[in-house]
Amino acid sequence: MNNIFKKFPFTITLNGGFSGSWFASGAKSSGYSPVDGRVLPEVTVNTSDDLGRIVTQCHETFPVWRKVPAPARGQIVREYGEEIRKYKEPLAQIITMEMGKPMRESLGEVQEVIDICDFAVGLSRQIGGPSLPSERKSHRMFEQWHPLGTIGVISAFNFPMAVWAWNMAIGMICGNTVLWKPSSKTPICAIVLTRIMEEILRKNNLPTAICSLVTGSGAAIGNMISSDERISMVSYTGSTNIGRQLGKIVQERFGKLILELGGNNASIVTSNADIDIALRSIYFGALGTAGQRCTSTRRVIIHEKIYDQLLSKLTDTYRKVKIGDPFESKNFLGPLVDRSAVKAMQNALVQVRKEGGKILYGGEKLSEKGGCYITPAIVVVSGNLPVVKEETFAPILYVMKFRELDEAISIHNDVPQGLSSSIITNNICESERFISECGSDCGIANVNTTTNGAEIGGAFGGEKATGGGRESGSDSWKGYMRRQTCTINYSGTIELAQGIQLDF
Ligand code: NAD
């Protein structure tokens, strides 16, 4: 890792907290790379007292940042995106080293950071509201949007750079200061990205606490962020159970909230599908990031006419998948993030057997390759068994059969989560039904493509136990601002709405 750090033109100290300066008074913590088990550089993490100081700095910086015009804020984000372009390769290497994603996908993740910066720059000249007709003479009514304050971004390990970047780029152009609490599994990604932002802000004579960072225990630090009234909005990306607890704490104090929680995504493959497209979509959907994307394909619901054919091709393809070092381009499947993820996958497979599912392929731990490599599993089930309704963050693909499309849609929607979905068909009636109000109940519904791999231009997020939040493109920026409706009377007299008369 130290060799990767040398590719940046500044020193990187692994003190995990930043708010104008780098500091951390907690314990030293070192993780293991899932790639080869090597010990990663030690990071000194923050304590609760540190967090208090960081929130104060970030909060006190808000009045300065909100006065910078939005297009000028966009220029800072533009400069940041340009800097990230220069370091795409070493940044991707840090992702792969810290959490094990194959390099091709890590490069894609850094590209996502660049893309959202570009998007936010354009947006910085567009965050306005409509002008609306007033019912009163010589009155003008319009909506406008103001920054919220400090936003707390708590992110998951699986997109250790992109998720923060979505929140940072949109949050910053909206005039907020941003406090990031990354996953305890990926503090180094966070330190390096924050260090790059520090340089940009310093160069522009702006307070560097605009983008602050805190690392440390998810439970302790995360809880404090949720309950601190100085944090106007919490954007939480992570598992549904923690999101549920955190959501209550934030709502209790009327804080704003964006929840991006777990998924349980399915592809329906109809008898009118192009089998090759189905195969490729499921392959990347289920195996990309070793099944550790919130949008990973976890269930595939296949029409009975093509069931045997597709399942046999899928199993053949799984047999051939190259598993190993994610830095080597020949390998498609890297390791899971850590040993506990391997254990969770094995536990789910034990459970699925108990519930009557049949493991058709895979699910083995590849001990000779190190602790975190596994073979991806294909499991045949008769429907949404209890274990299928839970999100296991690993490459387990549950396969089911259907006869009528309505039946497939009903199986599809019969899980607590509602993030992403897809249908593979060349029949326009089937695809239209799937994306209609009677079809998929997810925040993302695709046709003839994967459930994962969303572009930054669309709003990203899901319904039900996925939390209902939206991030990234489209009008998601509205979640990062407060709306104000203004009425201006230039009539020279007073006229009340709804025709109410003033009798004096
Ligand atoms: P996780 O829930 O274990 O951790 C997420 C974050 O929460 C981390 O930063 C962690 O330190 C922090 N945390 C832990 N306890 C906390 C607490 N009590 N209060 C506040 N914060 C706390 O999730 P993970 O294993 O890092 O990531 C995988 C999960 O994230 C999956 O469920 C996946 O579907 C979900 N995810 C969702 C999206 C989405 O956009 N919907 C995107 C990525 C990941």
- Structural domains in the chain, sorted by start: 2-15+24-261+467-485 (3.40.605.10), 265-447 (3.40.309.10)
CB of residue 166 inside a 6 A radius of ligand 1: no
CA 42 to ligand 1 center in whole angstroms: 22
At 465, phi and psi to the nearest 5?
Answer: -70, 0
Residue 370 pLDDT > 80, yes or no? no
CA 462 to ligand 1 center in whole angstroms: 15
CA 229 to ligand 1 center in whole angstroms: 21
Over range 257-272, report the average pLDDT: 98
Over range 2-17, report the average pLDDT: 92
Over range 400-416, report the average pLDDT: 98
Q: Is 260 a catalytic residue?
A: yes
Spot the catalytic one: 294, 372, 430, 471: 294
Task: Name the least confident of 2-11, 47-56, 104-113, 285-294.
Answer: 2-11
Residue 356 pLDDT > 80, yes or no? yes
Residue 396 pLDDT > 80, yes or no? yes
Q: Contacts for 380-387 with beta carbons within 8 Å, 24 or more apart? A: 380/311, 381/352, 381/355, 381/356, 381/357, 382/356, 383/411, 384/299, 384/411, 384/414, 384/415, 385/352, 385/355, 385/356, 385/357, 386/355, 387/348, 387/351, 387/352, 387/355, 387/357
Q: Give me 10's structure tokens.
A: 């500044």
Closest protein CA for atom 39 of ligand 1: 260
How confident is the prediction for the chain on average, in pLDDT? 97
Closest protein CA for atom 12 of ligand 1: 218
CB of residue 215 inside a 6 A radius of ligand 1: no
Task: Name the least confident of 72-86, 216-230, 284-298, 357-371.
Answer: 357-371
CB of residue 237 inside a 6 A radius of ligand 1: yes
d(CA 275, CA 306): 9
Residue 2 pLDDT > 80, yes or no? no
CB of residue 213 inside a 6 A radius of ligand 1: no
Residue 474 pLDDT > 90, yes or no? yes
The three-state secondary structure class of 399 is strand
CB of residue 214 inside a 6 A radius of ligand 1: no
Q: Is 174 a catalytic residue?
A: no
Q: Which of ligand 1's atoms lies nearest the C-alpha of 460?
A: 40
CA 238 to ligand 1 center in whole angstroms: 2
CB of residue 222 inside a 6 A radius of ligand 1: yes
Spot the catalytic one: 79, 98, 198, 260: 260
d(CA 201, CA 197): 6
Residue 371 pLDDT > 90, yes or no? no
Residue 503 pLDDT > 90, yes or no? no
- Residue 300: its pLDDT value, please? 98
Ligand 1 pocket mutation, candidates 157, 184, 392, criterion most atoms within 8 A of CB: 157
- Residue 228: its pLDDT value, please? 98
d(CA 72, CA 39): 42
CA 237 to ligand 1 center in whole angstroms: 5
CB of residue 239 inside a 6 A radius of ligand 1: yes
Rounded to two decimals, the pTM is: 0.97
Residue 90 pLDDT > 90, yes or no? yes
Over range 47-66, report the average pLDDT: 97
d(CA 268, CA 67): 49
CB of residue 162 inside a 6 A radius of ligand 1: no
d(CA 93, CA 81): 18
Residue 312 pLDDT > 90, yes or no? yes
CA 239 to ligand 1 center in whole angstroms: 4
Percent of the chain with pLDDT over 70: 100
